[in-house]
Each structure stands twice: as structure tokens, then as C-alpha cells.
Amino acid sequence: MKQIVIIGGGQAGAMAAAALRQQQFTGDILVISDEPEMPYERPPLSKAMLLSPEPVLQDILPATFYEENSITLRINTRVTAIDAAQHTLTLETGDVLPWDKLLLATGANARRLALLDALGDKTHRLRTAADARRLRVALDENQQILIVGAGTIGLELAASATQRGCKVTVVEQAPMVMGRNAPPPVRDYLMALHQQHQVRFCLNAQIEHAGIEHGNVVLTLQDGQQLSGDAVIYGIGIEANDQLATQAGLATANGIIVDEQCCTSVADIYAAGDVTLHRQGETFVRLETWDNANQQAQVAACSMLGKPLPPPTPAWFWTDQYDSNIQFIGTMQSDRWLVRGDVQAHSAIWFALHGGKLVGAITLNQGREIRHLRKLIQQGVEVDEGQLTDPKVALKNLI
């Protein structure tokens, strides 16, 4: 195997290149990114890039890492076609490059909403560094900001805009915030947290019309209510960048379908990160997290090299809103949640149990406990509810 090519310069792509060298691959590695920046961390885009007095992109790997590890990085370069049979790809320049193994880490774009896009420069989304730079300019003090979507990104943006001194209204079609990935007690906590910071919520709300009146954005809801603002930001999910994969004949469904080894439906082509879908029973699941991108990068590297796969770990992600750091690990599907600590004092842990075993947990400003919670979930042993919820009992003593 002479050359492995990675398409995509995000978390999964950059970390897969590093993992290949860690696994002692000595052939050529080429990483192709269509963004003009060096591969950078995306979580800070909704926080530090909007709040820091002098925002700077955070590199995933040191700028010197690529040259020191003989990894060729081509930024601002777009792939236009993949020929799976010939093991080649074509660049926008017309150049045709060979590959022995190919990793697609093409990520995703913010799902588009034509109704709001029609408002022109009054509309914002957040997925890239360019988006963050543009949005930062719009968040001047005392601006009226309308946010459509109360998922993780919507709430993080609501917090950042509020901290910039903006007046924020959040519009959500569901009856709750963060309905996809937070259980009821955490939703309640987040709703109250934002309301304490004067964020206004319109839940169960559908947008009937959007327009510009006297220089302001005006959203008309289905119930007739009108909301006016200086700008609108929307975050309503993602659309996978799977066009190249589809054209190359890979199995896709708004994402590239992969197995537990990150193999696609076509030999010698692998995929990792936000662009991937995993089969769970009759449905497909996407994990849009920083941690999943890192985990899949390791899996894909081992899989391409025919080496043993790293052991699976419980799903983990986090969100920072105001001074609250909330970390989620394991499953969030549970009808019963226990809690230790003081939620009102912004220091607590919620637990999900199944059959007496810990299957999921959420920390509120208790991030140091995640490593212990991960071990408890992985061990799959029965835990004592009294000890689990007693702040005097150290979680590490339950392992």
C-alpha cells in the first residue's frame, strides 16, 4: 500500500492522518481540504470565536505536525469525482490522483432553510470559521437577535449572543429545548438557565412567513405572532456532504453508511465523522460529536491497515452555555433519572440506570467525574442508588 488519501480536513480527517502514523504506516498520506484554513477545532466556533476579544482558530494538530510526520496537506482544494474502480480521484484543477485506500471525512453542512436564506445578509448559520467571523460582526451590543432552533447549537449561540449584550429570542417548533439529546431534567435546567439570562422562548412555534421591514427581520409565526430582530441565526440540523460518495456508487442516505469498522459499501473506501451513518436495527444513526470523529478516526486507521480495532467507548459530548459546562456520556434514553448534588447551585450529576446498572450520566460543572462515570458504564456492574446519589461517596470508590 503506497498511498492513503483522506478527503476532508476536519476533526476526523486530521486525526485519521495522525492515527495512521501512530499505527506505523510508512506510505504516503495526503489530506485534501476544501477550506482555506489549516484543520481547526469546530466546538469553539459557537463560543470562543464569538466571545474572545481576539479570537484565534484552534488548530487540531500543531501546524508543524504535518511536515514532521511526512503528511501532505492540500488546503483550499476541492475533489470533484471519485473513480472507485480505477482507485483515482479528480480535483477541481483537473488533476487525477491515485489512491490505494481512501477515507471520506467530508463532514456536513448546516441544513438550509430557503425561507430564511431569502433574507440575504440578515441571515446567519454556523458551521465554518468563515461563518463565525461573519456572525461575530452581527452580534453587537443591544442588537435584537432571533435564533431559530433550540438544539445544542441554537442554545450555545443564544448564550454567546446574550453574553455579547444582545437581546435574544429563540424559536423552536418542538415543545422543548434540546429534545434530541437531553432528558427532561436537563432540558428544564437549560430552559431555566436561559430565562434567567432574559432569553425569550417561543416553543411549539412554526414560522409562516419571513421578511424584511424597515431594515429589520420580521418572522410571522403560525399563531399570528410577529417577531422583529436585527438578524436571524438558524440551526436546524445538518446535511451530510455525501455527494462524492453517492456519485462514486457508495450506499448513502443523507450520510455514508458504514459498519463498525468504518467500511463503506465499496472496497478500499472508508468513512468517518459527521458524514457517516451507522445501522441500528432498522434505522440509521448519526453521532455528530467531536468525540465520535476522534474515535472513528482511530477505527478507520486501524481498519485500513488491517490492525485490531480500539475497544468501543460510551458516546460522549459536551456543551458550554454561560458558566455551565454540561457533559453527556452513555445513553440518554431512560424514563428515570437520579441526581446527586445541587442543581440550583449549578453543580450536579444526573444518572440513568437500567437493571441496576449505570448506562448514562450527565455532569453539570462536574467534568472531572466523566472518567469515573465512563468506567462505571463500561464495567456494567450493579450500583447502589444510595451511594451513587450521595455526594459524600466518591464515584471512584464505586468502580
What is the CB neighbour count within 10 angstroms for residue 380?
Answer: 10
The answer, yes or no, to whether residue 280 has pLDDT greater than 90, is no
Burial of 282 (C-beta count, 10 Å sphere; 0-12/13-18/19+): exposed
| Residues 147-190: tens digit of each pLDDT | 999 999 999 999 999 999 999 999 999 999 999 999 999 999 99
E-state strands within 244-303: 256-258, 269-271, 276-280, 283-285
Q: Which three cell numbers stand for residue 221?
A: 409565526
Rounded to the nearest 10 degrees, the angle between the axes of helix 11-22 and helix 290-305 is: 40
Q: Which of 233, 211, 263 is nearest to 166 (CA)?
A: 233
Q: CA–CA separation, 116 vs 306, rounded Å?
A: 47
Average pLDDT over residues 363-392: 96
Give CATH for domain 323-398.
3.30.390.30
| Residues 209-245: tens digit of each pLDDT | 999 999 999 999 999 999 999 999 999 999 999 999 9
Contact 118, 298 (CB under 8 A): no
Task: Specify the amino acid at residue 105.
Answer: A
Average pLDDT over residues 254-276: 97
Phi-psi region for residue 170, left (φ > 0), alpha (ψ -120 to 50) or beta? beta
Instruction: State which fold the 112-234 domain adopts.
Output: FAD/NAD(P)-binding domain (3.50.50)
Q: What is the pLDDT of residue 335?
A: 87
Confirm whether 3-109+238-305 and 112-234 share one CATH topology: yes
Q: What is the pLDDT of residue 281?
A: 77
Q: Which three cell numbers stand for residue 237?
A: 440540523
| Domain boundaries defined on the chain | 3-109+238-305, 112-234, 323-398
214 contacts: CB under 8 Å, gap ≥ 6: none
Tell me the percentage of the chain whose pLDDT exceeds 70: 100
Q: CA–CA separation, 12 vs 21, rounded Å?
A: 14
Confidence of residue 282 (pLDDT cuts 50, 70, 90): confident
Q: What is the pLDDT of residue 1?
A: 82
| Residues 319-358: tens digit of each pLDDT | 999 999 999 999 998 989 999 999 999 999 999 999 999 9
Task: Specify the amino acid at residue 159.
Answer: A
Q: Which three cell numbers stand for residue 165?
A: 449584550
- Please give, one letter per residue, the 3-state secondary structure of 334-366: CCCEEEEEEHHHCEEEEEEEECCEEEEEEEECC
177-206 exposure pattern, b = at least 16 Cβ within 10 A, e = fewer: bbeebbbeebbebbbebbeeeebebbeebe
Strands 276-280 and 283-285, bridge-based pairing: antiparallel
Bridge partners for 252 per DSSP: 256
Q: Which of 93, 79, 123 is nearest to 241 (CA)?
A: 79
Q: Which of 212, 220, 232 is nearest to 154 (CA)?
A: 232
| Residues 292-313: tens digit of each pLDDT | 999 999 999 999 999 999 999 9
Q: In terms of CATH architecture, what is 3-109+238-305?
A: 3-Layer(bba) Sandwich (3.50)
The answer, yes or no, to whether residue 279 has pLDDT greater than 90, is no
Cα 110 to its chain centre, rounded Å, is: 11
